[in-house]
Structure 1
């Protein structure tokens, strides 16, 4: 599947390559905009909507293999051979899967607050209830949707994030399919180790890379990984502490460039 995307050419005439930015569950290509703006001076930037999200096509199939192949098909359309990737949450797992299906094309791998493990917790049941309640109520405005969602979701920031994908009474993401394949999304099949240097950035207050076994899983599948922690940040670390995240990414990219 060819995905909806935005392509921004590097401002510098000496572009250092292509950075592909991949959002998480319930997101869209604008979610990593703060990172796109930070690196568009030196890199061509490709921001994508994953299948069943944003303005990309809906599909009854949803797993990391097909999502990663979607990214490759889209890059083929753009005639981009070599690329680096930044993925947040679910997008981080798509990014990790790219290291398996396109290892020779992937130059640099950056994962934001996600480990290559099958998580057992269901963090999004209240969100699914809220989304379905809005759909069933057949409301048209974000104000009406907000009032309905507040009965299930008590964090206004989460509601506002979700409403970015609500337009004229419709959700851009495919709620039914995302719910049906939720265990696929939270799950993971161990992949062959990727031997290039990679960067994992976790939020200090997040649980996604908090357990020792999660760290072990990173080093098993990405033996040359570096793990950095962003202070005073949760799962949405790039929104909460963008300067720290950008600094870690910039250091990694410069180090890798100097080693080439």
Structure 2
């Protein structure tokens, strides 16, 4: 499956050897969620922010991490962006890890944002099971979208996250493959069983929000086993949406990591 791509790059040709950077958003997000870091990196590198399947403007279909990693690889090859440095947040981080483990020659270096290669993640969204059968009025604007979702989603941040996935104006409705996403939630919450000894030797940076529980000391052994050449950085005052809570510090860590990739 070829994914929708938002590409940005420098005004002048990139230096020889400056590999492209692929950016992968989290659950119920889209490519533009990583816009701040993409704009910063695009000053010196080619960047490709992708809508993962069932998200943004990408096609819909059944989803799991091997399939999503294959989508990313197919899209990288289609856009002549292979190998690349791959950065993924949350669900995008699990997709990036799966890509690096299954296709290591396609991933020169890996950045994983606030997610571990383990069971867990997304447990605070608290979405009702019948959200995909939501009844939409004939016309909807942003204010009306929030009013429509409020009885179903009490958390303001989660409601805003979901509101970006509703098509507004005349004939409103879900713009994402919500049925496929909800059906895949057990797979998205988990982590696939991998062959013994499988690991990725490339440079790897894990970035966690200090106020987030998605990466914990219990995850350190599997992180070490799967990604032996990794380091972990924490950002104080940041939660799960690290890049939104502390964009400048987050981008500093990413740029410093990229500067040291041989």
User: Common fold, TM-score beyond 0.5?
Assistant: yes
Structure 2 counterpart of 1:48, from 40, 47, 50? 50
Residues of 2 paired with 1:240 and 1:163: CA distance? 19
* Kept after mapping to 1: 8 A contact 2:114/2:240: yes
- Provide the rounded CA distance (Å) in 2 between the counterparts of 1:67 and 1:121: 17
Structure with greater helix percent: 1
Q: Which residue of 2 aligns with 1:170?
A: 173
2:112 corresponds to? 111
Q: Structure 1 residues 222 and 122, CA, compared in 2 at 3 Å: closer, same or farther?
A: same
Change (3 A) 1:24 1:128: farther
The corresponding residue for 1:150 is 150
- Where 1:85 maps in the other structure, the secondary structure is strand
Which deviates more from structure 2 when the two are superposed, residues 159-168 or residues 22-31?
Answer: 159-168
CA distance in 2, matches of 1:36, 1:121: 24
Query: Partner of 1:30 in structure 2?
Result: 32
Question: Helix, strand or coil: the match of 1:104?
Answer: helix
Find the residue that maps to 1:107 and give its secondary structure. strand
* Cα distance between partner residues in 1 of 2:182 and 2:136: 19
Partner of 2:239: 234
Shifted more, 226-235 versus 80-89: the winner is: 80-89
C-alpha distance after superposition, 1:173-201 (max 9, x if no partner): 21111111101001102541111220000
SS in 2 for 1:91: helix
1: CA distance, partners of 2:111 / 2:70: 18
TM-score (norm 2): 0.90
Residues 145 and 159 of structure 1, relative CA distance in 2, 3 Å threshold: same
> Which stretch shifts more, 154-163 or 97-106?
154-163
TM-score by length of 1: 0.91
Which residue of 1 is the match for residue 84 of structure 2?
Answer: 83
1:202·1:209 contact (CA, 8 Å) conserved in 2? yes
Q: Residue 122 of structure 1 aligns to a residue in which SS?
A: coil
Distance in 2 separating the partners of 1:214 and 1:140: 46
Deviation at 1:98, TM superposition (A): 1.0
Segments of 5+ residues of structure 1 without an aligned counterpart are none
Partner residue in 1 for 2:200? 194
- The separation in 2 between residues aligned to 1:195 and 1:22, in whole angstroms, is 21
CA contact (8 A) 1:118 1:187 kept: yes
Q: Distance in 1 between matches of 2:132 and 2:219?
A: 32
Q: Deviations over 1:119-175 (max 9, x none)?
A: 287333x33458446x22446423223113222333323222221221132222211
Alignment check: 8 A CA contact 1:130 1:148 kept? no
Please say if residues 24 and 88 of structure 1, whose CA atoms lie closer than 8 Å, have aligned partners that are also in contact. Answer: yes
Q: How does 1:121-132 map to 2 (within 5 A)?
A: 122-124=123-125, 126-129=126-129, 131-132=131-132
Distance 2:138 2:92 in 1: 30
Unaligned stretches of 5+ in structure 2? none
